[in-house]
Amino acid sequence: MKKLCFIVYNFNHSGGMEKVNSILVNELATHQEYDITLLSLFGDIGNEFFKLSDKSNINIKYLFNKSINVRMHAKYIIDTIEKEILSNHYQVVISGDLRTYLAKIKKKNQDKFKLILWEHFNCTQPFSLLSDLGRRYYLKYVDSLVVLTKRDQSNYVRKFGCKSKIIQIYNPLLITNDVYSDIQQKRILTIGRIEYQKGYDKLINIAKVIAGKCKDWSWDIYGDGLEIEKLKERIAKEGLNNFIHLKGKSKAIDEIYSNYSIFALTSRYEGMPLVLLEAYAHHLPMISFDCDCGPSEIIRDCENGFLIPCYDECGYAIKLLELIKDEKLRIDFSNNSNLSVREFDLDYILNQWMELINA
């Protein structure tokens, strides 16, 4: 059996990165040729948000049971991960976290394991000289870097070279494309961590413009995060408590989409937003800023949704109101949301991963 190790920052979290890791691990485990360990830097056994299969070839480990400052304890963390990798003789290590740290381990142990890093955002974010230096560093030592979109693949190659190392694989979609949302619900849906990246400050600005013009509508936000209290305060300050509702985290998120009429994304940047794919699969009319990366590979502007130039809040509000006021437009957008089955099909994506792992 080939020994695989997936490394995540904290598998107790409920984000898209944790969800797609759980999907890939569970699907790979159906192939008995793999012995899989999911190694979480932080967290506690039993507090996983996403369920792993109970197959005997899946194991989950937590390195630290309490958070420590990753930068201040970098050497200790690197040494601990290196010991874990080498002592367990993992043949392939896959991770979207701690990429520079893992590259340092790979540099010291060139032939002892294959390292596949996984970009869950994009090569322009976070934007800083330090981030670019980090990417140049780990691209020297990584065997492959998986990116989520064609746009990001092009951006990486243009910016850093290493064309043979940059592999594009979409996130898999578990939902079939035959579930239709109820476009008469008069409810807008947003899902995502409550943090700066997701642009909730922009969402509030947009909501201020439209709330008084669609008083029979509401806007629900599912998610949790570091800025939740700040968001609550801003909603109250702007007098939007009757329009915007914070719904918290939900383990039944896949069942929620069909109860809404519009899906709205206000992110500053993304990798390949799984929530947008899931909205697409539910035939939800969509609206998003045309940020790097992902929305433009799901939304066909004016066909199944609206792509708004970054970060035109006024333009976003106008187009969102147009969707709200025009039921026929919502029906048309819903009917036009037909997924390319092959590109997002779980089996197709699993085969891409298996080819990469086995190469």
DSSP per-residue string spanning 64-128: ESS---TTTTHHHHHHHHHHHHHHTT-SEEEESSSHHHHHHHHHHTTTT-EEEEE-SSBTTBS-S
Say what the pLDDT of residue 327 is: 97
Phi, psi for residue 121 in degrees, rounded to 5: -115, -120
Mean pLDDT of all residues in 210-232: 97
Q: Is 331 helix (H, G, I), strand (E, B) or coil?
A: helix
Which of 61-70, 101-110, 120-129 has the least mean pLDDT?
Answer: 120-129
Mean pLDDT of all residues in 297-309: 96
Mean pLDDT of all residues in 60-71: 89
Write the pLDDT tens digit of every residue in 120-131. Answer: 888 887 667 888
Q: Is the pLDDT of residue 84 over 90?
A: yes
Q: Is 221 helix (H, G, I), strand (E, B) or coil?
A: strand
Q: Is the pLDDT of residue 345 over 90?
A: no
Q: Which of 345, 102, 317 is nearest to 214 (CA)?
A: 317
Domains of the chain, each with CATH number or no CATH: 2-173+343-358 (3.40.50.2000), 187-335 (3.40.50.2000)
Mean pLDDT of all residues in 227-253: 96
Mean pLDDT of all residues in 92-117: 97
Mean pLDDT of all residues in 43-69: 92
Greater confidence (341 vs 319) lies with 319
Q: Is the pLDDT of residue 243 over 60?
A: yes
Mean pLDDT of all residues in 123-141: 86
Say what the pLDDT of residue 227 is: 96
DSSP per-residue string spanning 292-305: SSSHHHH--BTTTE
Mean pLDDT of all residues in 1-20: 94
Say what the pLDDT of residue 127 is: 65
Q: Quick one: DSSP state of residue 223?
A: -
